[in-house]
């Protein structure tokens, strides 16, 4: 079984984008569709879903997931927790598209009652995390971990886990299911991190590596 470091996965993605000619936004849409397909096996229209999004491409995946679920009739709120000045272009585009479709957004943690939600989607950092989490994202993780009756999905890698070193970087999200793309990531082979990953699903997003 192959476990890729974050740097190896980024290299695969760049190969697809630069040499195969697949736009990054297309990869993002395919990733989001794969996440939604997997989530729909266990969520219902009665669930109240909060998607927490950072400012990178993992956040862009989450924004697309939120928009797709909203368009399919699910009760969705998107919490944008990243720095607007640090957004990737794909993240900005996905935010604009989701808002154009009327998806519900909030931008302040204190405007969210986390206990009202039955499903959480973690799209804060993904495989790019290389430092301990602090500030608003840390508070979000603590609040999600504190809602024990919810179901938590992590996109690619739970926040707080380094996919480069395969270790926890301090406090981490405790997911019920991690939906990762293409390959298993470094750390998923470690039994001591299973509390973070939960069930691991490797999604095929339709591109050969």
Q: Read off the pLDDT band of 120 (50, 70, 90).
A: very high
**pTM score above 0.85:** yes
pLDDT at residue 2 in the model = 83
Whole-number average pLDDT of the chain: 95
The backbone region for 92, taken as left when phi is positive above 0, alpha when psi lies in -120 to 50, beta otherwise, is alpha
Q: Is the pLDDT of residue 71 over 60?
A: yes
Neighbours of 170 (CB within 10 A): 11
Residue 60 labeled ligand binder: yes
What is the SS3 assignment for 91? helix
Question: What is the distance between the alpha carbons of residues 150 and 88, in angstroms, rounded to a whole number?
Answer: 30
Residue 170 labeled ligand binder: no
pLDDT at residue 140 in the model = 97
pLDDT at residue 174 in the model = 97
Q: Read off the pLDDT band of 204 (50, 70, 90).
A: confident
Q: Is the pLDDT of residue 207 over 80?
A: no
- Give the least confident one: 61-65, 118-122, 179-183, 203-207: 203-207
pLDDT at residue 203 in the model = 94
Question: What is the distance between the alpha carbons of residues 124 and 129, in angstroms, rounded to a whole number?
Answer: 9
Distance of CA 93 to the CA centre of its chain: 16
The strand pairing partners of 46, in sequence order, are: none
Question: What is the distance between the alpha carbons of residues 179 and 174, in angstroms, rounded to a whole number?
Answer: 13
Q: Read off the pLDDT band of 82 (50, 70, 90).
A: confident
| CATH hierarchy code of domain 3-18+25-41+54-203 | 3.40.50.10260
User: Strands 161-162 and 167-168, how do they pair?
Assistant: antiparallel
Residue 129 labeled ligand binder: yes
Residue 122 labeled ligand binder: yes
Question: What is the distance between the alpha carbons of residues 80 and 121, in angstroms, rounded to a whole number?
Answer: 12
What are the distances in angstroms from CA 183 to CA 8, 85, 189, 192, 208?
Answer: 10, 31, 12, 20, 11
Residue 100 labeled ligand binder: no
Q: Read off the pLDDT band of 107 (50, 70, 90).
A: confident
Domain boundaries, the chain: 3-18+25-41+54-203
Residue 110 labeled ligand binder: no
Q: Is the pLDDT of residue 190 over 70?
A: yes
Average pLDDT over residues 136-149: 95
Residue 48 labeled ligand binder: no
Q: Is the pLDDT of residue 209 over 80?
A: no
The strand pairing partners of 53, in sequence order, are: 80, 123
Residue 57 labeled ligand binder: yes
Residue 127 labeled ligand binder: yes
- Is the Cβ–Cβ distance between 110 and 79 less than 8 Å? no
Residue 204 labeled ligand binder: no
The residue among 198, 193, 106 whose CA lies nearest residue 152 is 198
């Amino acid at each position: 079984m192959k476990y890729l470091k974050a740097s190896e996965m980024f290299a695969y993605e760049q190969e697809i984008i630069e040499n195969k000619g697949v736009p990054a936004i297309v990869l993002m849409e395919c990733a989001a569709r794969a996440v939604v397909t997997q989530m729909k096996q266990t969520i219902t229209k009665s669930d109240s879903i909060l998607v927490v999004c950072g400012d990178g491409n993992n956040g862009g995946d989450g924004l697309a997931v939120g928009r797709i679920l909203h368009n399919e009739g699910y009760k969705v709120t998107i919490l944008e927790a990243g720095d607007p000045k640090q957004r990737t272009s794909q993240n900005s585009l996905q935010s604009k598209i989701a808002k154009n479709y009327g998806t519900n957004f909030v931008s302040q943690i204190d405007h969210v009652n986390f206990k009202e939600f039955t499903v959480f989607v973690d799209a804060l950092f993904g495989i790019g995390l290389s430092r301990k989490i602090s500030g608003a994202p840390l508070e979000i993780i603590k609040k999600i971990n504190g809602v024990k009756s919810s179901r938590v999905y992590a996109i690619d890698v739970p926040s707080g886990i380094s996919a480069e070193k395969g270790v926890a970087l301090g406090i981490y999200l405790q997911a019920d299911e991690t939906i990762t793309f293409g390959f298993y990531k470094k750390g998923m082979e470690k039994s001591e991190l299973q509390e973070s990953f939960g069930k691991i699903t490797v999604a095929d997003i339709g591109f050969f590596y």
